[in-house]
């Protein structure tokens, strides 16, 4: 009844059509006005009642091009009929690919949103572990779709062979009609690596537009060629924004999109990719996710040539080491201890470490300076040493470092 209400269908044959016939007729009408709802219902119907629908004596009411009357053929027909609508209607969709025609429709749909290709087999245990994580991430993010591809489906054998799928599960990203470089993941990644992978994908669509916009007003490209974005300038600009005080969520999201765009662009160089991963790690730290930042830092380090060093990467690694050694826990926990006993310098030390881990540099420096004010010699001058460590991590050119060096001198010597 809900399908018919949504579809707005009423007719003299409503009393003579079977339930399955009414359902199919309603779905066909609904597809024109509510394609996403129709696609969802179609998948649900065939997961529960494909034999009933396929055996309906009233399929002819659908008119020319009605599906065949066997269960398997009918389900395949409806899946194909709704495949493009499922992609176009919204993001966070889980799409079943059953033929090369289905895959071709994905290539077109990927021009508006990324699609993760999930290659699996029913007998594959790790596939069953990864699949629900992937589906949940897509539905939560709403920034990409997931396409399921059974490697044992005969109709898809040419695709599997062309992409050289030899291990399961295998993931790769289809965006703007092509497979994204460095997007292939084989096996089940741990939670940190998986989160980093999702973060990279989430920024692809917006970063593409941002990267294209960077070319405007730049050096003229040869006729018929797109100007190459200035990746170094893009990365430096957004790293600078992340280094400031009071960085908003919007700034972090914008930076993540820009870094993801650099990683996905075919014209980016190795050094650009390393710095972009460092940038994504900085975004993760701003969001309080040190585990994802560590995974990205390791990935960036793995991309470096022998004896190749990047200052931003080394600074990131030092910051992550500092956070790991600090073991202060959350800001709320440390703040609660300080509130309960303002004289607890250990709690104040933990608070400074936790604040710095969340990218709240000024507050971290204030907390560390307060330790020195209360007791310069506490724990072998731990307050002063913490400040010096924070100065090193922030860099000598940081405005905060200049300000707080002067404040430390005032406390120590005046």
Q: What is the pLDDT of residue 218?
A: 46
State yes or no: is 127 an active-site residue.
yes
How many CB atoms are located within 10 Å of the residue 269 CB?
12
User: Is the confidence at residue 17, as pLDDT, over 50?
Assistant: no
Q: What is the pLDDT of residue 64?
A: 38
C-alpha radius of gyration, the chain, whole number: 28
Q: Measured between alpha carbons, how far is residue 390 from residues 62, 245, 254, 281, 409 in Å? A: 70, 15, 26, 18, 15
How does residue 7 score in pLDDT terms, banded at 50, 70 and 90? very low
Handedness of CA 105, 107, 110, 114 (dihedral sign): positive
- For residue 28, which of 57, 60, 55, 72 has the smallest C-alpha distance? 60
> What DSSP string describes 313-372?
HHHHHHHHHHHHHH----HHHHHHHHHH-TT-HHHHHHHHHHHHHTT-HHHHHHHHHHHH
pLDDT at residue 367, rounded to an integer: 94
Whole-angstrom CA distances from 304 to 194, 274, 275, 280, 400 are 21, 7, 10, 16, 31
Long-range contacts of 88-92 (CB under 8 A, 24+ apart): 88/35, 88/112, 89/35, 89/36, 89/39, 90/36, 90/142, 91/138, 91/141, 91/142, 91/143, 91/144, 91/145, 92/138, 92/139, 92/140, 92/141, 92/142, 92/143, 92/144, 92/145
Task: For residue 181, give both structure tokens.
Answer: 């470089």
Nearest to 238 by CA among 205, 266, 277: 277
Q: Which of 42, 124, 283, 304 is catalytic?
A: 124
274 backbone φψ class: left, alpha, beta (φ>0; ψ -120 to 50): alpha
For residue 70, the model assigns a pLDDT of 47
The whole-angstrom separation of Cα 76 and Cα 67 is: 9
Answer yes or no: is pLDDT of 249 > 60: yes
Handedness of CA 104, 108, 110, 113 (dihedral sign): negative
Q: What is the mean pLDDT of residues 357-371?
A: 87
pLDDT at 370 over 80: yes
Helix-strand-coil split of the chain, %, nearest 5: 65, 5, 30
The reply to whether 124 belongs to the active site is yes
Segment 311-335, tens digit of pLDDT: 788 778 878 887 777 665 678 888 9
**pLDDT bucket at 23, cuts 50 / 70 / 90:** low
DSSP-assigned states of every residue in 272-309: HHHHHHHHHHHHHHHTT-HHHHHHHHHHHHHHSPTT--
CA gap 383, 349 in Å, rounded: 7
| Annotated catalytic residue, options 42, 127, 283, 304 | 127
pLDDT digits (tens, 9 = 90+) for 98-139: 888 788 778 778 877 889 999 999 899 999 999 989 989 988
């Amino acid at each position: 009844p809900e399908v018919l209400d949504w579809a707005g269908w009423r007719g003299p044959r409503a009393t003579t059509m079977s339930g399955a016939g009414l359902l199919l007729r309603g779905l066909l009408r609904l597809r024109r006005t509510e394609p996403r709802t129709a696609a969802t219902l179609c998948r649900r119907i065939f997961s529960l009642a494909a034999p009933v629908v396929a055996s309906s004596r009233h399929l002819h009411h659908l008119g020319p091009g009605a599906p065949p009357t066997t269960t398997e053929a009918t389900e395949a027909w409806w899946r194909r009929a709704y495949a493009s609508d499922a992609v176009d209607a919204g993001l966070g969709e889980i799409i079943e690919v059953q033929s090369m025609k289905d895959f071709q429709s994905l290539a077109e749909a990927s021009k508006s949103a990324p699609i993760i290709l999930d290659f699996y087999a029913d007998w594959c245990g790790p596939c069953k572990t990864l699949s629900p994580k992937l589906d949940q991430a897509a539905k939560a993010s709403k920034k990409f779709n997931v396409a399921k591809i059974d490697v044992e489906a005969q109709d898809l054998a040419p695709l599997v062979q062309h992409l050289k799928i030899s291990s399961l599960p295998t993931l790769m990203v289809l965006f703007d009609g092509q497979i994204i470089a460095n997007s292939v993941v084989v096996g089940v990644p741990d939670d940190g690596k998986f989160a980093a992978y999702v973060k990279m994908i989430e920024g692809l669509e917006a970063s593409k537009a941002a990267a294209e916009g960077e070319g405007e007003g730049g050096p003229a490209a040869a006729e018929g060629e797109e100007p190459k974005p200035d990746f170094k300038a893009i990365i430096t600009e957004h790293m600078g924004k992340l280094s400031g005080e009071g960085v908003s969520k919007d700034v972090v999201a914008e930076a993540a999109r820009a870094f993801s765009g650099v990683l996905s662009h075919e014209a980016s160089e190795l050094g650009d990719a390393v710095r972009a991963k460092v940038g994504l790690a900085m975004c993760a730290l701003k969001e309080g996710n040190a585990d994802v930042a560590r995974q990205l830092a390791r990935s960036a380090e793995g991309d470096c040539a022998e004896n190749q060093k990047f200052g931003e990467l080394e600074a990131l690694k030092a910051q992550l080491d500092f956070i790991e050694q600090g073991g202060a826990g959350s800001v709320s926990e440390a703040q609660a201890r300080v509130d309960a006993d303002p004289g607890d310098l250990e709690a104040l030390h933990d608070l400074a470490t936790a604040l710095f881990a969340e990218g709240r540099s000024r507050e971290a420096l204030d907390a560390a300076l307060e330790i020195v004010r209360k007791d310069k010699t506490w724990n072998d001058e731990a307050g002063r040493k913490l400040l010096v460590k924070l100065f090193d991590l922030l860099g000598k050119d940081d405005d905060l470092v200049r300000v707080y060096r002067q404040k430390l001198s005032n406390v120590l010597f005046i």
